[in-house]
Amino acid sequence: QVIYLNGEYVSKEDAKISVFDHGFLYGDGIFEGIRIYGGNIFKCKEHLDRLYDSAKSIMLDIPLAYDEMEQALIETIRKNALRDGYIRLVVSRGPGNLGLDPKRCPKAWVIIIVEQLAIYPEEAYRDGLVSVSVSQRRNIPDALNPKIKSLNYLNNILVKIQANLAGVGEAIMLNSQGYVAEGSSDNIFIIKRGVVYTPPCYVGALEGITRATIIELCEKLGYSLKEEPFTLHDVYVADEVFFTGTAAEVIAVREVDGRTIGGGKAGPITTHLLGEFRKTVEVDGVK
């Protein structure tokens, strides 16, 4: 495995960061998770746009221009000879001193790791996941804006811990007003009477790139799609529920908090959307 570290390609063993790195000390930095399908970087532009927007929002200077970053991604994939996998792109504020002041960090660090990936077995896509809602709340824009994909993932990790305790793969997080926001690392959709719903991002969700792809597919396939806030009640009585994310793609949910969703397996619209999603991934992106 070859890792991109500030312009150099190094082995996994040599890919090390300083204990004074502010990404490490304070979670001061941003990241992206990106898929490679058939040698293509899926939605490369969308991911880089989100990365540079997150950087601007937190006043982090990415030391690479947009095309240099794209080239670094392509080169890292090439060096790892990977056709299908996952890219983790991290930009940390870089090494500084022990104080939290970012002015003490002269240069951001860029790290690119590419890896194989299979988070759910294929049966899970047919049978659906069991999920639960958790007590951890998603911050809405009065705190750190969820649109920033920052290295501060403790909130999401606390959701994941609650999911682990419940023995499920993904959990549902509400916002402080009780509206459904998203999962620990996935967006959520529900379907009722043929209409597809997903929470608007202002409810407290990342502007997921898979989410956007599914919204586009719904338009293309003629499904009515509404971005509106909904509650757990709406999830319990939905005909279908699914999560979307770079790693999970489109994964059905068959049970939430002990309530069986629809027929207790991936429903017809979810299955259709997953099939169409998988058709699009091979052709999109740069080689």
- Residues of the shown chain interacting with ligand PLP in the complex, contacts defined by CB under 6 A: 33, 156, 182, 185-187, 206, 208-211, 244-246
Distance from C-alpha of 32 to C-alpha of 75, rounded to nearest angstrom: 17
Sign of dihedral through CA atoms 229, 227, 188, 53?
Answer: negative
Check 45, 149, 226, 265 and give the catalytic one: 149
Closer residue to ligand PLP (CB): 100 or 118: 118
Closer residue to ligand PLP (CB): 94 or 245: 245
Closer residue to ligand PLP (CB): 155 or 271: 155
Pairing type for strands 170-175 and 129-138 reads parallel
Instruction: Tell me the closest approach of the beta carbon of residue 193 to ligand PLP, in angstroms.
Output: 26
- Is 220 an active-site residue? no
DSSP 10: E
Residue 150's H or E segment, with its range, is none
Instruction: Tell me the closest approach of the beta carbon of residue 124 to ligand PLP, in angstroms.
Output: 17
38-58 CB burial, b ≥16 within 10 A, e <16: ebbbbbbebbbebbbebbeeb
Closer residue to ligand PLP (CB): 49 or 101: 49
Strands (E), the chain: 2-5, 8-11, 29-37, 40-41, 85-92, 109-115, 129-138, 170-175, 180-182, 187-192, 195-198, 224-227, 240-245, 249-256, 259-260
Instruction: Tell me the closest approach of the beta carbon of residue 19 to ligand PLP, in angstroms.
Output: 26
Instruction: Tell me the closest approach of the beta carbon of residue 147 to ligand PLP, in angstroms.
Output: 10
Write out the catalytic residue numbers.
149
